[in-house]
Chain A
Amino acid sequence: MEFAELIKTPRADNVVLHRPFHMAVEGTLCLTGHHLIFSSRRHDNAEELWLLHSNIDSIEKRFVGSLGTIVIKCKDLRIIQLDIPGMEECLNIASSIEALSTLDSVTLMYPFFYRPMFEIIEDGWRSFLPDQEFELLSSVTDEWRLSCINRDFSVCPSYPPVVIVPKSIDDEALWKVAMFRHGSRFPVLSYYHKKNGMVMMRSSQPLTGTNGRRCKEDEKLINATLRPGKRGYIIDTRSLNVAQQARAKGGGFEQEAHYPQWRRIHKCIERFNILQESLIKLVEACNDQSHNMDRWLSKLEASNWLTHIKEILTAACLAAQCIDREGASVLVHGTEGTDSTLQVTSLAQIILDPRCRTIRGFESLVVREWLQAGHPFQQRCAQSAYSNSKQKWEAPVFLLFLDCVWQILRQFPCSFEFNERFLIMLFEHAYASQFGTFLGNNENERSKLKLPQKTMSLWSWVNSAEELIKFQNPLFEANSLVIWPSVAPQSLQLWEGVFLRWNRPSKFLDEAQEEMINIIKYNKQLQAKPNLCPDGRRGVCTAGLHGKEKVETLRLCMACRTLLTGVWSFDTSSARDGSTVS
């Protein structure tokens, strides 16, 4: 086993662990191939800490005499400190952690070794297949088809094997369109708005170059999504300036002359290292408790994080508005179509489609719009806020998306089936996980790595009844409406659950949350109580109605009480009430 070579000192005693909100505790440190394990020796209250090496973002070591100290900064933003007696042990451990947390080979990652301790009821790898999605679609429209042109990933390496395209466009045309789009990411269906039949498509930039190349098939493909006489909108997630500059490198944007039925709107969403810098600055600001108010606010501002949130949300609202309010179809793309494009298309769906606000629907959205759509998770999430590698491909694109979802969740706290914990869990697993779901950069890589066969899917675990309950929002009341969030700066907030999580005890907030859940539970109990009503019609009372209707049920029950006693005081209205019971 090659891990053994990397672990020179597998175990150290008398190590002191410091971590947020806990007293320093002494214990034993063990290193295994994938975990750093610390267990306290105190018998009364044995504590264990298991930390995945892949969760470690960076480590620092320093010495005072022979006492070494290792500071471990994690991708979930937590910082822990280990005081290790003995210089040699400390050095060995530090270098092991460093090596084990930066393994090159994906197949050495923990998901390939992890064996689940829970019973698998449903294989998450098969929970969200494109065919199922298409089946749903074909029940409402027959204008689309499933194309297997990318069966062996030969047309577009970052697309899934099957994609949904307009029925009138054959695979031969798709070939030509693929040649005309960056990374061969030709326009595919992202979302179908049942209410008015409008659609959202996504792609990468067209390769017009400086001489204004055009591609008839490309024009035909996207025009195929328009109703006669209707216009569509192209949302380019770059500024006009950036889009124009892209032409010099062979990229570009759709020229009005060739796409007369489309209006182009440029919305600038930042990408790559600008976002990573932003995350680093934000976390730095949050971690320094000594900042006075002015410094805190200016650091928060300088991070630009909330500016990015506002930009992304604004673009998503714009796309949703085009579809729902303007009754127009939309094509979204930036340069590669793997980052800002996906932020916009997925958030627009959360605004428009109530299904995406359920747990399963959201999972399906993450699978469709992020995993299958080829967001390069492995590159983007290689490092987090404590990174010092400064690689261009590292960027918290997915975290920004989750933050935007959290902002909408805060504004519509009763419209989501999942809670904040669910979003935080996804953030953690995107960066370090025992599951294979977020490994690889696209479906092509995942199939080569044989992830479905060799690793466990995150969804198998999340969707087990035991886990699911932790992620449910007790306030959820399904609503079929479009939810428009406010994007005013006064309405946006720092996501404390992620960024202040390790800096501020949340005991009182958690307790309040618990109390809230208790009130809701108690309410449900009371609602069920009228079944006491002993008139032999209890079946109606337990009809499993929700919310408002439950209240009605109670009224009916109260009515049967009045019926019960009400025969004495005969009253037509209560009699009528009573009759609705039977």
Chain B
Amino acid sequence: MEHIRTTKVEQVKLLDRFSTSNKSVTGTLYLTATHLLFIDSSQRETWILHHHIAVVEKLPLTTSGCPLVIQCKNFRIVHFVVPRERDCHDIYNSLLQLSRTAKYEELYAFSYNPKQNESEQVKGWQLIDLAEEYKRMGVPNANWQLSDANRDYKICETYPRELYVPRTASKPIIVGSSKFRSKGRFPVLSYYHKNKEAAICRCSQPLSGFSARCLEDEHMLQAISKANPSNRYMYVMDTRPKLNAMANRAAGKGYENEDNYSNIRFQFVGIENIHVMRSSLQKLLEVSGTKGLSVNDFLSGLESSGWLRHIKAVLDAAVFLVKAIAVESASVLVHCSDGWDRTSQVCSLGALLLDSYYRTIKGFMVLIEKDWISFGHKFSDRCSQLDGDPKEISPVFTQFLESVWNLTEQFPQAFEYNEAFLLQIHEHVHSCQFGNFIGNCQKEREELKLKEKTYSLWPYLLEEQKKYRNPLYNPDFSPELTLLEPNTVSFNFKFWRNMYHQFDRSMHPRQSVFNHIMNMSEQNKQLEEDIKELEAKIKQRNGQPDAVLVKEHQQPVHPAPTALKTPPCFKKEQPLIPVNDAVRTIEGSNAADNRYSEFVAEFSKAEPAVVSLEYGVARMTC
């Protein structure tokens, strides 16, 4: 609170981001310990969590006041004009302080209390059990076992305690291999495919330099390929572009030399590094945020940002991996440099394509817990939870979600969850409201005592899973067992409008087929129940059919009153994206959403009010 100098400023204008005529609504700005709140004259509220703020900018003073632009990590951009420069300056400084947390303990999750008691909190954290998950995959088994080598984080600090390795990989092999791998991240099991007996393994790059080799590491890989009885050779996928991998050799790192490892097939798949991805997203946002954007500027901006190219590269890599397993029954070892960014993307997407469990709501949580959280994707650094090195920030996890979204578009019936689920997870990866994504690895999380001091996101999402269900989901959707074979021809990749323009409601379809169907299938369930109940009641009243009932109606009896069910009441439409909790409400909508062009000046009146949208639901004019 010591950072807050001004808690309330009146007569603040919120500008319409895309209006060419600088339309705005006026209201009051409040600053709380956790949120920035704007309430406009029609009482619409815009809440912005401090942790969501990526950039605060104070623009040069104008005649109408001092502009303050806030860019959020969930791609919301708000543009305020504060009448007095002093107030603006105060708010600016407060937000700078509040949005840059220095210590983990100051994050929202440590003060957030969802009114759960301790046992609920503990139970919430136990919801996802990775040991259970490995059991589901079929390990341990004759070829794979749980290793206690890293039980005290002695071999690798950024790995979880419990790791699965081939039975033939002895402790000295593990230790030796880990010394030959960047950050000690030696090859371990990520996913085991029961039917094919093939495995997805992950690690970091070898410290091979130009010629170094390590017998233990070679043994380790051999152990992995031997653990697969159905295929002699295995693939080693280096997810980096070849040039990057080669450059790493100069620093004593690099990639596997096929001559030193028996029976490996080595393959580069060319996903760019975190820095390229960061600037790509930056460019994408610059383009999509342009006022009065033309189609061609949009398309050429989309192209030059390279964003969709990167998404395609990630998905192409996953498809390559899946083919190796599904078609050749070969095990695959995936790595990049440190094995926590691109490797997480490719391993998790590969598993998602192979195993329909990960396409369920619970399964997707497990997948994220396993391949992202437990294996040490550096959420804290990549999402800049704390004030740190801006060069560590990168939208790696966002790309994973976007790849999944692309798959849901191609296979509308294969996923139990919907787009809102992906968006909500993205929201909370950055919100720091729940403990799951705080920190960079499990060791750090344990030290922070997150399980005691914070709450888990997953039970919260499960509780409101109705919102995240895909009404078209077909659990039996399984072309060729459970494998998904996506088409990765370029034209299949689309700009994810609902992610990058989540809060720019004027751009979205005014009626959502999805909501419609979702509500209808909700309603169907309700109706089914009601009808069942009704029929049961009728039966129960007297085992006779219609005639008697009619009679009974004419001559009512008076039994003890049964609890009357309130008549079902159905809402017509539900919001698509909005998932309302205290953290997040929808940006105050502006009337006149559509700017057909600059013809406004032609009219004598001001820009006519065209369409305004409430929660993505059409409001058309009469």
Q: Please report A residues at the B interface, Cβ cutoff 8 Å.
A: 233, 263, 265, 267, 286, 289, 291-298, 300-301, 304, 306-307, 309-310, 314, 317-318, 321, 324-326, 410-415, 475, 479-494, 500, 503-505, 508-509, 511-512, 515-516, 519-520, 522-523, 526-527, 529-530, 532-536, 548, 551, 554-555, 558-559, 561-569, 571, 574, 577
Q: Which residue of A lies closest to B538 (CB)?
A: A534
Minimum CB–CB distance for A269 against chain B, Å: 13
Quick one: which of A297, A479, A484, A508 has the most chain B CB within 10 A? A297
Question: B302 — which chain A residues lie within 8 A by C-beta?
Answer: 297
For this complex, 16 residue pairs linking A to B, each with C-beta atoms less than 8 Å apart, are A293-B306, A294-B303, A295-B490, A297-B299, A297-B300, A297-B302, A306-B295, A310-B294, A411-B511, A491-B508, A504-B489, A516-B472, A519-B524, A526-B528, A555-B567, A565-B562
> Which of B309, B489, B622 is within 8 Å of A481, CB to CB?
B622
Partner of A534, one of B516, B546, B565, B621: B546
Are B506 and A526 closer than 8 Å at their CB atoms?
no
CA distance A318 to B596 in the complex (A): 7
B 527-561 binary contact with A (CB < 8 Å = 1; else 0): 11011001101100100011001101100111111
Contact partners of B296 in chain A: CB under 8 A: 301, 304, 307
Q: Which of B565-579 contact A (CB under 8 A)?
A: 565, 567-570, 572
* Residues of chain A with a CB closer than 8 A to B513's CB: 413-414, 475, 516
Q: Which chain B positions have C-beta within 8 A of A529? A: 527, 531
Would you call B599 and A479 a contact (CB within 8 A)? no
Q: Contact check, A536 vs B568: say whether CB atoms are below 8 A apart.
A: no
Asked if B541 contacts A565 (CB within 8 A), the reply is yes
Q: Are B608 and A321 in contact (CB under 8 A)?
A: yes
* Complexed CA–CA distance, A520 and B568 (Å): 19
What's the nearest-Cβ distance from chain B to residue A473, in Å?
A: 10
Q: Which residue of A is nearest B18, CB measured? A: A488
User: Using Cβ atoms and an 8 Å threshold, which residues of chain B touch A492?
Assistant: 295
Q: Which of B464-513 contact A (CB under 8 A)?
A: 471-472, 474, 479, 487, 489-495, 497, 501, 506-513
Chain B residue nearest to A305 in the complex (CB): B295
Are A522 and B524 in contact, with the CB atoms below 8 A? yes
Residues in B with CB closer than 8 Å to A488 are 18, 293, 506-507
Residues of A contacting B494 in the complex (Cβ-Cβ under 8 angstroms): 493
Residues from chain A with a CB closer than 8 A to the CB of B622 are 480-482
Determine which of A291, A475, A489, A500 lies in contact with B298 in the assembled complex, contact meaning CB atoms within 8 Å: A489
Residue from A481, A515, A536 within 8 A of B550 (CB atoms): A536
**Chain A residues with CB under 8 A of B524:** 519, 522-523, 526
Please, how many angstroms separate the alpha-carbon atoms of A568 and B294 in the complex?
A: 68
Q: Does B103 contact A (CB under 8 A)?
A: no
**Interface check B115, CB cutoff 8 A:** no
B316-330 Cβ-contact flags toward A at 8 Å (1 or 0): 000000000000000
A138 vs B567: C-alpha distance when bound (angstroms): 47
Contact between chains at B620 and A482 (CB < 8 Å): yes
**Contact: A317 with B594, CB < 8 Å?**
yes
| Cβ B509 vs Cβ A526 within 8 A | no
Interface centre among A292, A511, A512, A548 (most CB of B within 10 A): A512
- B556 near A412 (CB under 8 angstroms)? no
Of B308, B494, B516, chain A has the most CB atoms within 10 Å of the CB of B516
Instruction: Contact check, B474 vs A569: say whether CB atoms are below 8 A apart.
Output: no
Nearest-neighbour CB distance to chain A for B593, whole angstroms, equals: 7
**Minimal beta-carbon separation of A253 from chain B (angstroms):** 16
The CA of A294 and the CA of B300, in the complex, are separated in Å by 9
The segment from B342-350, B407-415, B416-424, B448-456 found at the interface with A is: B407-415
Residue of B nearest to A314 (CB): B596
Is B517 interfacial (CB-CB < 8 Å)? yes
B568 — which chain A residues lie within 8 A by C-beta?
554-555, 558
* Residues in A whose Cβ lies below 8 Å from that of B611: 484
- In the assembled complex, the Cα of A519 lies from the Cα of B520 at a distance in Å of 7
Q: A486-B507, A511-B413 are in contact. Are A292 and B490 (CB under 8 A)?
A: yes
CA distance A480 to B618 in the complex (A): 13
- Other-chain contact of A571, B495, B564, B572 (Cβ < 8 Å): B564
B534 partner residues in chain A, CB cutoff 8 A: 530, 532-533, 558, 561
B412 partner, pick from A490, A512, A548, beta carbons under 8 A: A512
Give bound CA distance, A558 to B300, whole Å.
Answer: 58
Q: Which residues of A contact B621 (CB under 8 A)?
A: 324, 481-482, 484
Name the one of B303, B562, B620 contacting A301, with C-beta atoms under 8 angstroms: B303
Extra contacts, 12 of them, besides A289-B489, A504-B487, A530-B531 (Cβ < 8 A), are A301-B295, A304-B296, A307-B296, A318-B599, A481-B621, A492-B295, A508-B479, A523-B527, A529-B527, A532-B538, A551-B523, A555-B569
For A310, the chain B residues whose CB sits under 8 A away are 294-295
| Nearest B-chain residue to A324, judged by Cβ | B621
Interface pair A490/B608, CB less than 8 Å apart: no
Q: B127 at interface (Cβ–Cβ under 8 A)?
A: no
Q: Please tell me if the beta carbons of A483 and B510 are within 8 angstroms of each other in the complex.
A: yes
B472 adjacent to A515 (CB under 8 Å) = yes
In the docked arrangement, what's the CA distance between A526 and B306, Å? 49
Task: Determine if B521 is an interface residue (Cβ-Cβ < 8 Å).
Answer: yes
B597 within 8 A of A: yes
User: What CA separation (Å) do A405 and B487 show in the bound complex?
Assistant: 28
A9 to chain B, nearest CB (A): 38
Q: Across the interface, do A297 and B308 meet the contact criterion of CB distance under 8 Å? A: yes
Please state if A490 and B520 are interface contacts (CB–CB under 8 Å).
no
Closest chain-A Cβ to B485's Cβ sits at a distance in Å of 10
Whether a CB of chain A sits under 8 angstroms from the CB of B100 is no
What are the interface flags for B282-318 relative to A under an 8 Å C-beta threshold, 1 for contact and 0 otherwise? 0000001000011111111011001011001000000
The distance in angstroms between the C-alpha atoms of A314 and B489, with both chains bound, is 31
Compute how far the CA of A522 lies from the CA of B558 in the bound complex, rounded to whole angstroms: 36
